[in-house]
């Protein structure tokens, strides 16, 4: 089946609906009008630009260009993780903890999937590598951001309880064990919910895209199952690493709680 192309004016109709929604939100005083319009504009501009980049990348299919784009994607994702936290660590660690966790989890799972499970030739074929890494980073970014935000905010609000536990002789791990577990759960829950509802409540994006592109539904289903499993694994490991590294930074070598290492970005 031939894929139906979309004219730009048809996309303009969808954009008009965003303007209508913005007008409704402005009338209702929801306070999201500006964010809605900025996000819609960013979506159009960023996706149009990445489309041009991917066309050139697919034509060349050189490993160094794929690696460069992957690094850019990682750095942007790390910046988004840092920006989404109400309270975050000072200095480099605010960026480094989330970015490092996403690098280890997302890149490791993506390379494993490309080399062992899918097996394109070469393994870094951009038609497979870039979309898969993008889905991994996008979902891991959300999980890491949620978990770090929950961790830092909970430590701040429960600082008196944590310090009392430390004075009673507990180690720093024991003093915040419950907080760490809840932070990890909050980061993993969106992926778990997405798996639980897939196929019944929603048709996931990759499966929908492949079906629209003319792939047999059975093939699209297998790829979507693979992607959702990989996303959950990458998000889970990324969340665990980010919370582990981030919580350690909240204590010094003498296991004292160091709230001065947190800054409030909402002020």
Residues 33 and 162 in one domain: no
Whole-prediction pTM? 0.84
CB-CB neighbours of 198 under 10 Å? 16
Residues 69 and 50 in one domain: no
Average pLDDT over residues 71-96: 90
Structural domain count of the chain: 2
- 171-215 confidence digits (pLDDT tens): 999 999 999 999 999 999 988 888 887 776 666 676 767 776 777
Residues 100 and 201 in one domain: yes
Q: How far apart are CA 12 and CA 8, in angstroms?
A: 6
Residues 49 and 179 in one domain: no
Phi then psi for residue 251, to 5 deg, are -130, 145
Question: Over 70: is that where the pLDDT of 17 sits?
Answer: yes
Q: How far apart are CA 234 and CA 108, in angstroms?
A: 8
CB-CB neighbours of 210 under 10 Å? 18
DSSP states along 3-46: PPP--HHHHHHHHHHHHHHHHHHHHTT-S-HHHHHHHHHHHHHH
Residues 175 and 145 in one domain: yes
Quick one: tokens of 155?
Answer: 């430590």
Residues 26 and 77 in one domain: no
Residues 229 and 119 in one domain: yes
Quick one: tokens of 242?
Answer: 């980010």
- Residue 1: the pLDDT is 56
Choosing from 26, 60, 94, the residue where a domain stops is 60
DSSP states along 63-132: HHHHHHHHHHHHHHHHHHHHHT-SEEESHHHHHHHHHHHHIIIIIHHHHHIIIIII--SSTT-HHHHHHH
Residues 185 and 218 in one domain: yes
Domain span at residue 52 reads: 1-60
- Residue 264: the pLDDT is 82
- 133-167 confidence digits (pLDDT tens): 999 999 999 999 999 999 999 999 999 999 999 99
């Amino acid at each position: 089946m031939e894929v139906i192309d979309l004219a730009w004016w048809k996309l303009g109709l969808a954009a008009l609906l965003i303007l209508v929604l913005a007008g409704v939100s402005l009338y209702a005083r929801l306070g999201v009008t500006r964010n809605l319009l900025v996000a819609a504009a960013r979506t159009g501009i960023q996706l149009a630009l990445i489309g041009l980049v991917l066309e050139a990348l697919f034509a060349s299919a050189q490993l160094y260009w794929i690696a460069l784009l992957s690094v850019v994607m990682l750095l942007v994702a790390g910046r988004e993780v840092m920006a989404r936290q109400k309270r975050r660590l000072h200095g480099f660690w605010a960026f480094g903890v989330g970015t490092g966790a996403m690098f280890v989890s997302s890149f490791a799972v993506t390379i494993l999937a490309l080399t062992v499970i899918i097996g394109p030739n070469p393994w870094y074929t951009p038609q497979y590598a870039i979309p898969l890494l993008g889905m991994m980073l996008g979902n891991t970014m959300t999980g890491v951001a949620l978990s770090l935000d929950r961790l830092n905010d909970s430590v701040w609000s429960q600082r008196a309880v944590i310090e009392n536990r430390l004075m009673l002789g507990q180690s720093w791990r024991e003093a915040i064990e419950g907080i760490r577990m809840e932070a990890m759960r909050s980061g993993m829950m969106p992926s778990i919910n997405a798996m639980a509802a897939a196929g019944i409540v929603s048709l996931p994006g990759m499966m929908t895209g492949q079906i629209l592109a003319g792939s047999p539904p059975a093939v699209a289903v297998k790829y979507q199952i693979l992607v959702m499993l990989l996303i959950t694994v990458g998000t889970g490991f990324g969340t665990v690493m980010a919370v582990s590294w981030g919580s350690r930074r909240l204590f010094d070598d003498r296991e004292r709680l160091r709230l001065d290492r947190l800054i409030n970005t909402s002020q």
